[in-house]
Amino acid sequence: MARVFSGIQPTGQLHVGNYLGAIRNWVAVQAEHDCVFSIVDLHAMTIPYDPAELPQRVLATAATLIGCGIDPERSILYVQSHVREHSELCWILNCITPLGSLQRMTQFKDKAKQHQENVNAGLLNYPILQAADILLYKAALVPVGEDQVQHLELSRDLARRFNHLFGETFPEPQALLTRAARVMALNDPTRKMSKSIPGSFVALTAPPEEIQGLIRRAVTDTGPRGESMSPGVANLFTLLESFSAPETVAQFREAYEQGALRYVDLKQQLAEDMVRALTPIRERYTELMSRQDELKELLAYGADRARAIARDTMEEVRDKTGLVLGTSAAAPTAARAT
Ligand code: TRP
């Protein structure tokens, strides 16, 4: 069984874009692979955040992932900062990463523009920490969306560079390119659905009335009807394809082609099917969040399992990079004399 690693930021409010772009695939790969899934709180610190809120964001993220079907027994599910080896390997990789390769990262350039008042070194080094995440578990496969391909390329480069400098240690991780729908903002279908755009996203834990309201208000046609489907309508079809039965999708497509599609009908159907799909997730989430001690225990169990692997890797890495002070035979005479 190949080892799979992936990470997700603790936004605290995962949405259908996260689900269709990533989480759904995580749930699917669990059946065939040995999976390690991390809630990457250290990555979340690279942009301004409220420390008082972070713990709840982490717990809510964990509860949502489990609600979506991540099985914390079958897979290893844990919080990144609970396994200190991430930071340690990150530092070592820092020392073999060319600055230019970080400055070229499109995500860094975007985020630096977005947070001009706080372009910290963590934001620049973000992809090194990501490489450390993956290499710490010697993962062979990494399910990622297209926006992470460049970061994964750096992880591969760093594995190669480390092996070259210190001896064969890390496999080069491969992207596991899975079916991932690109879900757009409901209120601005030219941009990606995002937690930072209010009104753009449907949280996986949204109650039925909220789902219905968001879908009802979704932007459809903006200008006059053109030749091709407008981005808003295309986005609703993307969602319909993910949440509704194939016959339903076919029926609405046909109506669209005949020019007989009423957006209210499309929206009503979509909202109904989304409510049906998301209800079990919300219920499981609510249950887990009402028993946070159990949730914390589950994450502690995940961290223990992750740490066992991470420790072995770091022992090897420390040895290969010259951080181990030899054996007793090599101890200085002064120490041996007495
Ligand atoms: N940077 C990833 C994202 O924002 C999250 C992440 C952190 C990750 N470490 C990872 C993804 C390791 C894959 C592998 O989506």
Angstrom distance (rounded) from CA 76 to CA 133: 13
Residue 138 known to be catalytic: no
**Phi, then psi, of 94 in degrees rounded to 5:** -50, -40
CB-based burial label for 131 (10 Å; 0-12, 13-18, 19+): buried
Angstrom distance (rounded) from CA 314 to CA 89: 7
- List, by residue range, all CATH 3.40.50.620 domains of the chain: 3-180+292-320
Nearest to 143, CA basis, from 251, 35, 233: 35
Tokens representing residue 308 in the block: 């066992």
- Looking at ligand 1, which residue's alpha carbon is closest to its atom 10? 7
As its CATH architecture, domain 3-180+292-320 has 3-Layer(aba) Sandwich (3.40)
**Mean pLDDT, to the nearest integer, of 25-54?**
96
**Mean pLDDT, to the nearest integer, of 260-265?**
94
Residue 113 known to be catalytic: no
Question: Which pLDDT score, from 0 to 100, does residue 228 have?
Answer: 83
Specify the 3-state DSSP secondary structure of 24: helix
Q: For the segment 88-108, what is each residue's pLDDT rounded down to a tens digit?
A: 999 999 999 999 999 999 999
**Residue at 180: amino acid letter:** A
Nearest to 304, CA basis, from 106, 95, 72: 72
Question: Which pLDDT score, from 0 to 100, does residue 223 have?
Answer: 60
Q: Which long-range contacts (CB under 8 A, 24 or more apart) does 70-74 make?
A: 70/23, 70/26, 70/27, 70/30, 70/37, 71/30, 72/298, 72/301, 72/302, 74/30, 74/35
Handedness of CA 313, 318, 324, 329 (dihedral sign): positive
Work out the number of other CB atoms within 10 angstroms of the CB of residue 137.
Answer: 23
**Mean pLDDT, to the nearest integer, of 134-158?**
94
- List, by residue range, all CATH 1.10.240.10 domains of the chain: 208-287
Tokens representing residue 184 in the block: 């757009």
Who's near 330: CB < 8 A, 6+ residues apart? Answer: none
- Looking at ligand 1, which residue's alpha carbon is closest to its atom 15? 8
Please determine, for residue 239, whether its predicted confidence score (pLDDT) is greater than 60: yes
Question: Is 148 near ligand 1, meaning CB less than 6 Å away?
Answer: yes
Question: Which pLDDT score, from 0 to 100, does residue 118 have?
Answer: 86
- Superfamily for the 208-287 domain: Tyrosyl-Transfer RNA Synthetase (1.10.240.10)
- Looking at ligand 1, which residue's alpha carbon is closest to its atom 7? 7
Question: Which pLDDT score, from 0 to 100, does residue 225 have?
Answer: 62
**Higher confidence at residue 64 or residue 228?**
64
Query: Measured at the alpha carbon of residue 99, what is the angle toward residues 96 and 104, in degrees to the nearest 5?
Result: 125
Cβ atoms of 137 and 3 within 8 Å: the answer is: yes
Please determine, for residue 338, whether its predicted confidence score (pLDDT) is greater than 90: no
Place of tokens 């209120």: 187
Task: Name the band, by pLDDT with cuts 50, 70 and 90, for residue 12.
Answer: confident
Question: Is 41 near ligand 1, meaning CB less than 6 Å away?
Answer: no
Question: Is 40 near ligand 1, meaning CB less than 6 Å away?
Answer: yes
The active-site residue out of 113, 138, 195, 320 is 195
Tokens representing residue 195 in the block: 């937690």
The per-residue b/e assignment along 69-108, b for 16 or more CB within 10 angstroms, e otherwise, is ebebeebbbbbbbbbebbebbbebbbeebeeeebeebeeb
